[in-house]
Amino acid sequence: MRARAWSERMSAIIINPNCTAAMTDAMLGVAKRAAPALHWEGWTSFGGPPAIQRREDGEAASPPLLVRVREAAERRAAGIVIGCFDDTALEPAALSVPVPLIGIGQAAYHLCALRGWQFSVVTTLSVSVPVIEENIHRYGLAGLLGRVRASEVPVLALEDDPDGVIDRIAAEAGAAIAEDGIDAIVLGCAGMVRVVNGLRARLPVPVIDPVEAAAGCLEWLVRADRA
């Protein structure tokens, strides 16, 4: 009886700040596999842009995202994940709810920190790099960072043609392994859930899927919050 009641309380919502519902569905599938003890829902912020690739996209996505975060809190979610690697509106979102709320970038970096791994990030476009670098510095983890590298693969290309772009991502990850003195690769886009298995098969170091990392981290935080 106690185990069933515990399970019923452990609901979680992953909120995609962009309006591409297919990406929400892909992230939801990963979250369910990575943290099956949580009851996952995937929400799309339909007021956001189709993809978040630059600072301006994140700024446009933030107001409708914060509305969705408040709705999740009203639904009494036990925990919330912001499903964008830029950790869009993470700080105001976390301050607006009484439950654990984390970003997928935040979770991936801290996973590496807990393992003591130096890491490089392989993201989508060059315009995405500054925000990611700023986030890593703000979290106090710059000492673990090799480089933030752009594969020059647009976010929506990961939805439309994942098999056609994996070579470019793998090439940039391979350069990071050869040049950056790292222990792990962090994939710098939620849409890379579609290529993570292929990259793990090709690369000789751990490949961190940020959605997977965030789901596992949230399960841990929800359990601690409910203890």
* Per-residue model confidence as pLDDT tens digits over 65-122: 999 999 999 999 999 999 999 999 999 999 999 999 999 999 999 999 999 999 999 9
Residue 121, SS3 per DSSP: strand
Write down the pLDDT at residue 9. 59
Residues 27, 53: contact at Cβ < 8 Å?
no
Residues 79, 99: contact at Cβ < 8 Å?
yes
Residues 143-181 pLDDT 10s: 999 999 999 999 999 989 999 999 999 999 999 999 999
Would you mind telling me the total number of residues written for the chain in this entry?
227
- Is residue 6 very low, low, confident or very high in pLDDT (cuts 50, 70, 90)? very low
**Residues 9, 209: Cα–Cα separation, whole Å:** 26
**Residues 187, 195: Cα–Cα separation, whole Å:** 10
**Residues 161, 146: Cα–Cα separation, whole Å:** 28
Write down the pLDDT at residue 37. 94
Tell whether the model's pLDDT for residue 7 goes beyond 70: no
Write down the pLDDT at residue 179. 98
Write down the pLDDT at residue 227. 73
